[in-house]
């Protein structure tokens, strides 16, 4: 059943809609955050006040934010410095390599990790393969970089299949936590 790999635990409009208390009570220790089109547009080089506040709020809830991005080190490192958190660039999501490294380095279990991102193909598929809590957020903008355009094309096909099989409805936000 292919759908189980692409259906997120939660589907939200924006990261600001998250109930971090609920995630903390669920036992989340590590909060993996995608940046491009999740916290900021890929065209922007600085986290805005909202993004910085979100990362700080994760910390205030006793969870550890970790940026995991398929983007290059220079960009990801700069954003992680602003958020004062660890990062993994060129992560090759949805592959498991960086996720397994995070589990080892933070000495945590799969059920103690959640991941938020804007793409089914990278963020949700990668997180679901690791049995993490997965949170799909609407993209901040419809403008994607080159690799984003490719994954969005494939993602559209998957969304269409999920809608056709009544497993998914775009903009029908939910929380299956």
pLDDT in tens, 109-134: 999 999 999 999 999 999 999 999 99
Tokens of 13: 């409009």
pLDDT at 72: 95
What would you measure as the largest C-alpha separation in the chain, in angstroms? 43
pLDDT of residue 147: 61
**Higher-pLDDT residue of 142, 101:** 101
Q: Report residue 173's pLDDT band, with 50, 70 and 90 as the boundaries.
A: very high
What burial letters (b/e) apply to 129-140, b meaning 16+ CB within 10 Å?
ebebbbbbbbbb
Q: What total of structural domains would you count in the chain?
A: 1
Q: What are the Cα distances from residue 107, in Å, to 31, 113, 119?
A: 14, 11, 27
- Render pLDDT for 54-95 as a digit per residue (tens, 0 to 9): 999 999 999 999 999 999 999 999 999 999 999 999 999 999
- The neighbour count for residue 156, using CB atoms within 10 Å, is 12
CATH of the domain at 107: 3.40.50.1000
Condensed to tens digits (0 to 9), the pLDDT of residues 10-55 reads 999 999 999 999 999 999 999 999 999 999 998 899 999 999 999 9
* Boundaries of domain holding 74: 3-175
Helix (H, G, I), strand (E, B) or coil at 18: coil
Q: Is the pLDDT of residue 148 over 80?
A: no
Burial class of 74 by CB neighbour count within 10 A (0 to 12, 13 to 18, 19+): exposed
- What percent of the chain has a predicted confidence (pLDDT) above 90? 79
């Amino acid at each position: 059943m292919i759908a189980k790999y692409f259906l997120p635990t939660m589907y939200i409009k924006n990261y600001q809609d998250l109930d971090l208390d609920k995630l903390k009570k669920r036992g989340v220790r590590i909060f993996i955050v995608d940046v491009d089109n999740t916290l900021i547009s890929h065209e922007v080089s600085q986290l805005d006040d909202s993004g910085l506040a979100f990362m700080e709020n994760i910390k205030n809830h006793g969870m550890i934010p970790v940026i995991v991005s398929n983007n290059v080190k220079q960009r990801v490192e700069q954003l992680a410095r602003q958020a004062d958190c660890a990062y993994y660039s060129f992560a090759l999501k949805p592959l498991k390599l960086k996720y397994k490294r995070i589990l080892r380095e933070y000495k945590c279990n799969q059920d103690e990790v959640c991941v938020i991102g804007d793409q089914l193909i990278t963020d949700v598929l990668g997180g679901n393969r690791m049995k993490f809590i997965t949170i799909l957020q609407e993209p901040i903008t419809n403008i994607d970089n080159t690799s984003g355009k490719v994954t969005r094309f494939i993602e559209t096909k998957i969304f269409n299949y999920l809608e056709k099989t009544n497993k998914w409805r775009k903009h029908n936000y939910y929380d299956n936590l």
